[in-house]
Structure formats: C-alpha cells, structure tokens
Structure 1
Amino acid sequence: MENCQLSRVEEPKKLNKCACASAMIASTISIIFGYDTGVMSGAMIFIKEDLKINDTQIELLAGILNLCALIGSLTAGKTSDYIGRRYTIILASILFLMGSLLMGYGLNYPILMAGRCIAGLGVGFALMIVPIYTAEISSAAHRGKLSSLPEFCISLGILLGYVSNYLLGKLSLRIGWRVMLGVAAIPSLFIIFGVVRMPESPRWLVMKGRFEDAKSVLFLVSNSKNEAETRLEEIRMTADIRSSRSQRSKMKVSCWDELRFKPILAARWTLFVAVGIHFFEHATGVEAVVLYSPRIFKISGIRNKNKLLLANVGLGVTKTLFILVATFLLDKVGRRPLLLISTAGVISALTALGVGLTVVEHSKTQPSWAIALSISATYIYIAFFSIGISPITWVYTSEIFPLKVRAVGAGIAVAVNRSMNAAVSMSFISIYKTITIGGTFLMFGGLGVMAWLFFYFFLPETKGRSLEEIETMFSKKNQPRGQ
C-alpha cells in the first residue's frame, strides 16, 4: 500500500495513477492465461505428431484446462473472501508457475495433462478475482476501462502464444512445443512480487470491518480527499443496510445460502444475468475459432504449416487491437450499445463463415470467393467479438453483484464460463465431423441470435454508476429489462 502515492490532481474524472497501476499489475496474470490458450492452438499440431495421440486425446487436452478452471473458480470465491483479493491473485500465479513447469517438462501425455490441470486451477482463480479486484478499486468514471484490462491482457497473451508458435515451431519437434508451454513460468514469478506491492480492495476491507485500512486505500486510489470520503460513505452505507436487514431477519445467512436457497432480489437477478452472459460468450463459438483456427484455415485452403501459424498471428493481432479499442469506448459509449453491436456483427460473421466453409468443403473446385469469404469472416468474427462480448462479459460480472456475494457469485458465473468453454473445446471436432464444419458455425450463429435477444431484454446500462448504485438498481421491484 505504501508503494502507491496519492495523486495530487483534484479532478474527480481524471484517471488515478495508483488505481491504474494496481489494475495493470493485477491484469498481467491474464497474459499468462491468454498465452496458454493461444500457444496450445499451434502446439497441438506438434504435440499430436510427437506424442502420437489421436483427435479424442487432443480434444481432452484442449478442454481439461477449463474443467479444472471450473473447480478453481468455485473455490476462488470463498478463498478471496477469506484471505483477500491480493493473496488470491498470488495463489493463482503460483498455480500457473507450477502448471507451466510441468507442461514444459512434458515427457509424456499424462504429465502434460497433469500440468494442464494445475494451470487450469490457476485460470479459475485468475478469471474470477482479477476483474473483481479491478472493479473494487476503480472509480465509477473509469471502471469500464480498468475492468476491461484483464480481457485485453488475455488477448495480448493469445497473440504472444501465436507468435511463440510461429517462432519456436522452427525448433526440433521434441523441444519446440515444450519450450512454448514452459516459458509461461517466467512471468509468473514477476507477478507474485508485483502483486505484493498493491493495495488491498477497500470493499473487502470494509466487509471485514477494517474501516481505517479501507479509508487509507481509498485515499490512494481516489483523486481527492472528498472523493475518497464519498466512496467510503457509499460502501459503508451499503454494508450497514445489508447488516440491518440481516439483523431484522434474526438469522445468519451465508453468501452461498443467499444465492442458492432464499436469495435476496438483487442477488437472484444478478446471478441470472451473470450466468446468462457467460453462457452466451462461449455458446457463440469463440473457443472453436481461437483454439482450432489452424484447422479452419486449413479447410479454407491454407496448407503450409508456417502459413497456418502466421494466419494465427494475424488473428491474434486483430483480437488485441479491437479489445484495445473497446477499452477506450466502454466508459464513453456504454456497455449495452457495444454489446448489441458486437453480437449483431458476430451473428453476421458466423453466418458468412458457415456458408463459406460449406461451399469450400463440398465443392471440388474450391472457388476463390468462398475461400476469401471464410478467411475474412474468421477475422471479422474475432473483431466484432473482441469489441463487445469479450470484454463486457467480465466488466459486467465484476459490477453487478452485491458486495457480500460478489466473489461467490462471480465464481459461479466463471464456473459456467469455463464449463461452456470446455464443452465447446472438447466437442468441436466431434460436432463438425457429424454436421460438417460449416453447419457447426451456422449453429453458433443461431445461438448468437438467442444471445442478442437475451442481452437486449435483460442487460441494463451500468456506465457511470458506482457499484453501490448498481446494487440498488438491481434491487428494485421492477427489475430492469434492457433499460
């Protein structure tokens, strides 16, 4: 805490340096997760050849990380409430470190799977806690920008993974993929030391009754004494209201009970919305594109291995650039407009990709227009997905839960996210072999239509509102229907 210095600028809308630095350090762990996802896309080509494994084993290798991340995300909620947001991020970094070293060692398939499982636990912890920590230290004016940093870092990590595939793929078959996977251990060490110097979440401190510590942190992450005191008062008022409600009910209700058995109105609706947006993020097929893009490009007509990996790099550049654009638009345009535009673009791109791949797959001549349509639609899909659905899923989840159930609720949402991720990554090859690859992407397009309708009717705008105001908004008797 002492390593951050209070900004002297008094304008409440100016981005606070300490809050920004803390969010950037915390978000760095997402680069490792993104790298692991991106590098596996190309590494699977070499792993299959070296270890002589089949498509079913490849699907299991791709999806097991997300099944283990499901366990991690469900555990992370209670862990972060107990030991704090900062130390949960450190725990995630340690798991990444162990998993990366084991995958880099990777003498055989079982050891590789064990490393992937340990890294998956780290993914679950990181995906749940980093957006929450960032949202809880940010002011309302800049929360969208800072809360989208983890998703930007994931995209940057995916890009670095693709670049690693292209560069390290030139090494010997036995060494290349192991270096690709093992190198992720290096940044994990730096993150552990960086996170120790960050301030703890002021809202977690209030939840633990440490008001003076919370006040000290708010002075660091606010631009003025008045802003810090106002934010502290809002947090304390919400905590007091929740406390008095609990006393009136004359019973102790845990956060799990509030979400599962007799949920308060705000928790019920926020859980419904959070689970829905995480479900549709992966139901629209992003994992099929990111993880299996070499197969898509190969079917589209790119046969050379180096060209396949280079096409992947272009995909990573596109994803990273459009996430960066979204970072600057979230607090200006708003969550809702970006989300609806993004989803409409995704539906169009998936339809075009499905049509293009169907023509390429069933035509003996493989017309150039269909090949061009398939490749361009893949890039367009990534662009539209990255400018809306991708960052807003995580920003929205970090904003809408009441303080008492925020960590546990977000953990459940992330568990749904990882379940869908695993379902898509572990079944994509089997599905496209059954209904064709073009038919599979048309199916994703149909799910995209359902996603757009869900977002339109159930996701209100949260831009510019404090976390306490958002909690009040979701507590109203007449719940918001796409306001």
Structure 2
Amino acid sequence: MFERQAQLTEPKSANRIIHSGTRLRRSGLTVYSSCVFAVPRQYLESSLSTMPGPLIHDEVISHTKPALINYVAAIFAAIGSFLFGYDSGIISSVISSSYTEFQAYMNYPSDNVTGAIVSVFAGGAFFGALLAGRTADWIGRKRTIQLGSIIAIIGCTLQTAAINVAMLIVGRFVAGFSIGVLSMIVPMYQAEISPPHARGLLSGMTQWMISWGFFIANWIGYGCGYLKSTAQFRLPLGIQIVPAVLLLFGMFLLPYSPRWLAMKGRHEEGRATLIKLHGGRRNASISAVEAEYAEILTQIEWEKENLSSNYWDLIKNKPNLHRTVCGCLVQAMCQWTGVNVNNYFGPTIYSALGYTGHTTLMINALQSAWGLVVTFIFISFVVDRWGRRQPLILGALLLAGCMAMEAGTSSHFANSEYHNSSMGIAGVAAVFLFSWFFSFSFGPVSWIYQSEIFPMNLRALGTSVSTASNWLNNVIIAQITPYGFSSLSWKYFFVYTATNLSNCVICYLLFPETKNKTLEEIGLLFGDTNVRTPPTHSIDSAGIEQAAVTDIKPPGEPGQHHIEYSGDKAV
C-alpha cells in the first residue's frame, strides 16, 4: 500500500480526476492509458458547466516529433489545395485578352460575363464548404476529401467540354463546389494528424500547395496562350483532372483522423492510427500515444455528454462566439488583403502598368513562383516559432504599404501620356512584395488558425463556416473589382490599404496565440475553464508513473485530499 497526500488549489467549479499509469474509467468507457481514471461520476456531474481541459501535461505530447507518415499524409491531402490554386489561377489566363481563341469561341464575353465566370466559382465553393461541415462528421475527414475529388472531376469535365458560356459557368460552379469542400476539410485533416509543435508546418502545406497550384496554372496558362485552336483553353482547363483522380485513389492509402475514429467509438482503429502517426510500433513512444489518446477520448466523451453540435452552438456562449468570430474574420480578412485582386486580375493590372500581350502572363507566372518559395520558407522555419498572431499583425501593415505602392505606380500610367518604365518596374515590384508578405502572413496562417481553434464537437461546423466566410467575401470581391477598376481606376487600391490597416487592429485585439498547443489545450485560450497542477513522477515501483491531479475539488470537500494507491487502483 502506498500513500500520498496532494495539496490542491480550489477552483470555483471543478471535478477531480486522478492520473497515473494505468487506466481511465469514465461514462462506462475503459481506456488503457498513461492517465488512470476519474473519481466517482457524481463529481463529474457536479461540474458539467466546466469544460475539462487536457488530462495530461503538455510535456508528454508537445515534444513528439512528426513521423514520415505525418508529412506524407499532410502533403498528399494537400493535393486538394493544389486543385484550389490551379482552378483559381488558370481562369485569369483563360479569360485574358491574350487568349484570342477563347474570346472568339465564347463570342467575346462582356465584363459582366467575365465577372460571372470568375465569381460563380467562389459561389459554388461557399456552398461546398457548408456541406463539408456536415459530411466531415458523418463520413469522416478522409472520405470527405474523396467526395471533393469526385465532384472536382465532374467540374473539370464540364469546363473542358464547354460549348458555350453557360456550360462553362455551370462547370465553374461545380468545380467551385468541390474546392469549397476541399478547402474546408484538408487543413482540418492536416491539423488532426499533426503533433502540436509541427502543426503550423503540416497545416501550412495547404497554402504551399495552393501556391503550387497557382504556379503551375500560370506557367501552363502562359504556354497554352500560344496555341491556335480551342486547345488553347481546353487543355489548361482539362489538366486539373489528373490531380483530382490521384487524390481520389491515393486517399485510400492514408489514415483516418484518429480524433474522428475516437468520436465514432472506433477505439482500436483510433489507437492503431495514432501509433502509426507517431512513427509505428518500432518508433512510437507508447506512453505518449496512450497519453494523447486518453486526452482525445476524455474531451470527446465530455462533449458528447454535455454539448451538442449545431450551428447555434457556434455562437451561444462567449468562448464559442469568440472562436467563430476569429475563424470567420481571419478568412474574411484574408480576402480583404486584396490578394485575389492581384490573383484574378493580375494581367489586367500589368496592362495598366504598361505591359502588354504575353508579357503580362509571364509576369503573372513569375509572381506565382515567388509566392511558392516564400510560403515554403514561412511554414518550414517561421510559423511554429513566431506563431500565428505576430505574422498576421505585421503582415497586415506591410500589405497596406504594398497596396498604397500599387496605387501610386498605377496613377502614373493613368495620368500621364509619357510612361516611365521605372514606374512600371516599381509597380511590378509592389505586386511581388505583396505576394511575399501575404505568403508570410494571411496566406498560410488563415488556414492553420481556423482549423485549430474549435473544440472537437464543433470543429467541422466551425471550420466549415469559417471557410464559407472566405468564399463569400471572395464572391463579393470578384464582383466589385471590375467595377472598382472602371470607376475608381488606380484609387481602387486604396480600398485595400484601408482594409489591411483595419485587419492589423482586429488581429491585435481579438486573436490569441495558439502555437505549440494541443488541439484540446487551445480551448483554454478562448475561455474554457480548467485548473491543473504540474505532473509528478514515479510514485512507486508498481508501475504508477507521472501522476497528476486535474480539475480538482468536488463541491463541499476541503482543498486537501488523501489518496491511497494499491496496484492499479485508488482507494
């Protein structure tokens, strides 16, 4: 018999959970883990208003190194993000004046029709993102990615075979719907298979692969511009079917999210998947695996008993409202940086800066290559060190300066008959600098942040609504930008100078830092209640290790408790 006393703090409302090296019994569920068990159920029921935080100390999990399978799964799933970048990027080439075959075949579409071709894609993505919020929980993250790839194949086929503008618009809507699904689910899947200190890198693969998509699209768009048949636009639109098919069949080889498996009660699969994500049985730290799975299970079980999963829950209490506001705002602000003004209308901007013909397409392609390199540097070396908050605040300030610079250089060409080539170069430099700063801030961080701030019961819905916010604002910008340029000319860039300055203030006031925390720990940052004490070690030789006390003191009991351990039981 071993005796130990613990002096504990006294929270306003909490329950008592004792941890050691044996098993956790809770709600009729027995979990073999490095966390032991909960004390009588009435203690839990006396404090259901308090969200239990992590059962284990972050030292156990937060230093787990990512395994090869983490990288493979994150990169391969991000083929969905590649489709996002490619389908978004290729349209700027196809609708440009340089694509004379497209212009003639589609009867020289007006600005209104061109705007519809661009914006209907984002409209489809809006609805796709909302659908994925439900399917992510119903059929899982993995199957939802495959669903998105099937829809992408259909959309690609319709666009490639389009015989008129109406068919092209339908194809763009279907393709957009698929991208809405994929843009919502891919970063969430990446976040749920990533260890905390590498989550920025692995979730940041979303933006990196979006950049790859834009890069490939712009260079293919540049090359196909020289073709002299309908292949000029059918070939670049049709190429995207290749990654869609690859994603569909390749996902069969990748693991499910262990958190989704736990949520569905498939515990043996969930634990086996977590071992695989920790490097397999030969390389995994079993104590870390057990600790992490116990933490996941406890969070899920508590949420199942005490929380629901519907849209009202996203706003019905202060912590969830804060999360939802942050998730929707980070995506809306991403659009109001002006990134898609440059992406969708890049050739138009370069024409306004004095460049013509295929030169505009080449500059667009070079700009996408620049963004690709910078994004890789950021997700590899910066985001998990600097975090999320600082890059957003600094990035917003720098992006405001770039938009002011674009306005200044464009005004020279609008107001002068004698064009200075140096001003044209300065204008292109402003766009390149914008790409750099965007890739160091809102580009990757918006996808990382929205995928990690919601609790398990609301993660799919919250990420869905946040992604839908991105696409809703994308639609608005795609619709107003042609009119903005025609009505305000170069002054239109100042709109985004103002929005970026606003973004800076919002990020400073509202956004907590989430780096290096488990998905279950992040809830504390948004106001979920938890009281913890540091873990102790090696209680006795019977194998009870790393005991800790969490969420302490049932109502009506004193703050000091006497605990007796005998083997794997507490008496």
TM-score, normalised to structure 2's length?
A: 0.78
Question: Match of 1:187?
Answer: 243
Q: Which amino acid aligns with 2:453?
A: I
Task: Report the CA distance between 1:89 and its aligned residue.
Answer: 0.2
Matched, 1:322 2:377: no
Task: Report the CA distance between 1:206 and its aligned residue.
Answer: 1.5
Question: Using the alignment, how far apart are the partners of 1:476 and 1:431 within structure 2?
Answer: 43
Q: Does 1 or 2 have the higher relative contact order (CA < 8 Å, sep 6+)?
A: 2
Question: Match of 2:360?
Answer: 308
Q: Which has the higher helix share?
A: 1
Question: Using the alignment, how far apart are the partners of 1:138 and 1:167 within structure 2?
Answer: 38
Task: Report the CA distance between 1:459 and its aligned residue.
Answer: 1.0
Deviations for 1:380-439, whole angstroms, at most 9, x for unmatched residues?
A: 111101111110000000000011011111111111100111111122111111111x21
Task: Report the CA distance between 1:173 and its aligned residue.
Answer: 4.2
Note if contact 1:354-1:439 (Cα within 8 Å) is conserved in structure 2: yes
Pairing of 1:249-260 with structure 2 (within 5 A): 253-260=308-315
Question: Match of 2:73?
Answer: 22
Q: Which amino acid aligns with 1:353?
A: E
Task: Report the CA distance between 1:70 and its aligned residue.
Answer: 0.4
Pairing of 1:419-430 with structure 2 (within 5 A): 419-430=472-483
Question: Match of 2:297?
Answer: 236
Deviations for 1:69-115, whole angstroms, at most 9, x for unmatched residues?
A: 10110111001110010110001101111111111111111111111
Question: Match of 1:198?
Answer: 254
Q: SS state of the match for residue 467, structure 1?
A: coil
Q: Which amino acid aligns with 2:468?
A: A
Question: Using the alignment, how far apart are the partners of 1:104 and 1:224 within structure 2?
Answer: 50
Question: Match of 2:83?
Answer: 32
Closer, same or farther in 2 for the Cα pair 1:230/1:265, shift >3 Å? farther
Question: Match of 1:273?
Answer: 326
Question: Match of 1:449?
Answer: 501
Question: Using the alignment, how far apart are the partners of 2:335 and 2:67 within structure 1?
Answer: 33
Question: Using the alignment, how far apart are the partners of 2:305 and 2:469 within structure 1?
Answer: 32
Matched, 1:416 2:464: no
Q: Which amino acid aligns with 1:19?
A: N
Note if contact 1:48-1:58 (Cα within 8 Å) is conserved in structure 2: no
Question: Using the alignment, how far apart are the partners of 2:319 and 2:452 within structure 1?
Answer: 12
Question: Match of 1:373?
Answer: 426
Note if contact 2:371-2:436 (Cα within 8 Å) is conserved in structure 1: yes
Deviations for 1:110-148, whole angstroms, at most 9, x for unmatched residues?
A: 111111111011011001100000000111011110001
Question: Using the alignment, how far apart are the partners of 2:145 and 2:170 within structure 1?
Answer: 21
Question: Using the alignment, how far apart are the partners of 1:38 and 1:315 within structure 2?
Answer: 12
Q: Which amino acid aligns with 2:463?
A: A
Pairing of 1:388-399 with structure 2 (within 5 A): 388-399=441-452
Question: Match of 1:435?
Answer: 488
Task: Report the CA distance between 1:359 and its aligned residue.
Answer: 2.0
Note if contact 2:337-2:396 (Cα within 8 Å) is conserved in structure 1: no
Question: Using the alignment, how far apart are the partners of 1:201 and 1:91 within structure 2?
Answer: 16
Note if contact 1:50-1:173 (Cα within 8 Å) is conserved in structure 2: no
Q: Which moved more, 1:133-142 or 1:182-191?
A: 182-191
Deviations for 1:164-220, whole angstroms, at most 9, x for unmatched residues?
A: 111111111422111110111122111111101111111111211222221111111
Note if contact 1:12-1:227 (Cα within 8 Å) is conserved in structure 2: no
Question: Match of 2:92?
Answer: 41
Pairing of 1:133-172 with structure 2 (within 5 A): 133-172=189-228
Structure 1 spans left out of the alignment, 5+ residues: 1-9, 247-252, 479-483
- Once the two structures are aligned, what percentage of the paired residues are identical? 27
Q: Which amino acid aligns with 1:401?
A: F
Q: Which has the higher strand share?
A: 2
Of 523, 532, 555, the match for 1:471? 523
Question: Using the alignment, how far apart are the partners of 2:336 and 2:484 within structure 1?
Answer: 14
Matched, 1:363 2:419: no
Note if contact 1:360-1:366 (Cα within 8 Å) is conserved in structure 2: yes
Question: Using the alignment, how far apart are the partners of 1:243 and 1:102 within structure 2?
Answer: 42
Task: Report the CA distance between 1:48 and its aligned residue.
Answer: 3.2
Q: Which moved more, 1:171-180 or 1:115-124?
A: 171-180
Task: Report the CA distance between 1:363 and its aligned residue.
Answer: 1.4
Note if contact 1:266-1:401 (Cα within 8 Å) is conserved in structure 2: no
Q: SS state of the match for residue 141, structure 1?
A: helix
Deviations for 1:423-466, whole angstroms, at most 9, x for unmatched residues?
A: 11122111111111x21111111000000101111111111000
Question: Match of 1:250?
Answer: none
Closer, same or farther in 2 for the Cα pair 1:153/1:42, shift >3 Å? same
Note if contact 2:66-2:194 (Cα within 8 Å) is conserved in structure 1: no
Question: Match of 1:56?
Answer: 112
Question: Using the alignment, how far apart are the partners of 1:11 and 1:477 within structure 2?
Answer: 21
TM-score, normalised to structure 1's length?
A: 0.92
Closer, same or farther in 2 for the Cα pair 1:440/1:384, shift >3 Å? same
Q: SS state of the match for residue 385, structure 2?
A: coil
Question: Using the alignment, how far apart are the partners of 1:26 and 1:403 within structure 2?
Answer: 20
Deviations for 1:337-380, whole angstroms, at most 9, x for unmatched residues?
A: 22222222111111111111112211121233432221110111
Question: Match of 2:390?
Answer: 337
Note if contact 1:48-1:54 (Cα within 8 Å) is conserved in structure 2: no
Question: Match of 1:126?
Answer: 182
Question: Match of 2:58?
Answer: none
Of 452, 455, 473, the match for 1:402? 455
Note if contact 1:136-1:202 (Cα within 8 Å) is conserved in structure 2: yes
Q: Which amino acid aligns with 1:315?
A: Q
Q: SS state of the match for residue 196, structure 1?
A: helix
Question: Using the alignment, how far apart are the partners of 1:463 and 1:56 within structure 2?
Answer: 44
Question: Using the alignment, how far apart are the partners of 1:240 and 1:183 within structure 2?
Answer: 45
Note if contact 1:139-1:466 (Cα within 8 Å) is conserved in structure 2: yes
Question: Using the alignment, how far apart are the partners of 2:411 and 2:197 within structure 1?
Answer: 46
Question: Using the alignment, how far apart are the partners of 2:123 and 2:88 within structure 1?
Answer: 14
